[in-house]
Amino acid sequence: MKRALAIATLVAATSGLTTTVQAADSARPAYSSIQGFYINQDDDAGYDGDGFMARGELQFGARYFFSAELMTTTDSDIATNADVRHYQLGFGRFFEINNAFTFDAQAFIGKTDTDLDQNSVHLKGDDEFLGAQLGLRKRFGNQFEAGLGYRYTDYRDVDAEKGFLLDAFYYFTNRLAAGVHYRSFDNTDSWALGLRYDF
């Protein structure tokens, strides 16, 4: 039942597929962009890591897009050093509510790697996941864009996780923006500051 949500989202997104790449339109939210962030992440187990997150999307056809996300964070103290890396690939479709307001759905797969050094003992682990995300994006003129999403992630080895994502960007030009990103899941919270370029 958990995996059915991601599979159903993927099937819905693939209907009527076409392959023409679309340029960014400053009048509506863009689905072709590259983004880079400083990120802070903490969880219920006491992890409090800082690092880097890169995200990207590529629109093709009239309403379809690929997405990718890479996140790496490190939590270091006197006795412990923990590194967490997150890799994710997705595929989705968006729908125009009006010229400046969109709804999107995507399915994704990914993997997390963890390295822990504690008192000269090295531990290594990994986990695979799949999931689905629903989102709303709103463009306010040519300078502001905000987004709200809901994500469900089903992990292979640990409990599934769900929660919300928030984005807000200010555009200096039609394509370059600075913004904040926040996500709050069952066991993990994170916030990020960074730049975005639409193409």
Q: How many domains does the chain have?
A: 1
In this model, does residue 16 exceed pLDDT 80?
A: no
pLDDT tens string 94-113: 999 998 999 999 999 999 99
pLDDT for residue 8: 45
Q: What are 140's two structure tokens? A: 């306010």
pLDDT tens string 132-145: 999 999 999 889 99
Collapsed DSSP state (helix, strand, coil) of residue 13:
helix
Total-model pTM: 0.80
- 169 and 179 in contact (C-beta within 8 Å)? yes
Q: Is residue 26 part of a domain?
A: no
Q: Which domain holds residue 56?
A: 2-20+32-198
pLDDT for residue 23: 39
Q: Is residue 103 part of a domain?
A: yes
